Amino acid sequence: MKVIVLAAGYATRLYPLTLNQPKPLLAVAGRPMLDHVLDALAPIGGIDRVYVVTNAKFTPHFEKWAAAHPSKETLRVINDRTTDDTNKLGAIGDLHLVMTQERLDDDLLVIAGDNLFSKPLEGLVEFCQAQTTPVLGVYDVKSVEEAKKYGVVSVENGRITSFVEKPTQAASTLIGIALYYYPRATLPLIRQYIAEGNNPDQPGRLVQWLYPRTPVRTWSIPGLWLDIGSKETLEEAQRFFAAK
Span 117-129, average pLDDT: 88
pLDDT at residue 236 tops 80:
yes
pLDDT at residue 165 tops 80:
yes
Residue 111 within a domain: yes
Model pTM score: 0.94
pLDDT confidence band for 175 (50 / 70 / 90): very high
3-state percent breakdown (helix, strand, coil) of the chain, nearest 5: 35, 25, 40
Residue 71 within a domain: yes
pLDDT at residue 85 tops 90:
no
Residue 155 within a domain: no
CATH, residue 234? 3.90.550.10
CB neighbours of 111 closer than 8 A, spacing ≥ 6? 3, 4, 5, 6, 37, 41, 178, 179, 180
Domain extent for 86: 2-136+178-201+215-243
* 34-to-7, 163, 207 alpha-carbon distances in Å: 9, 28, 24
pLDDT at residue 101 tops 90:
yes
Is residue 55 within 8 Å of 77, Cβ to Cβ?
no
Least confident of 25-29, 122-126, 171-175: 122-126
Distance CA 47, CA 56 (A): 26
Residue 147 within a domain: no
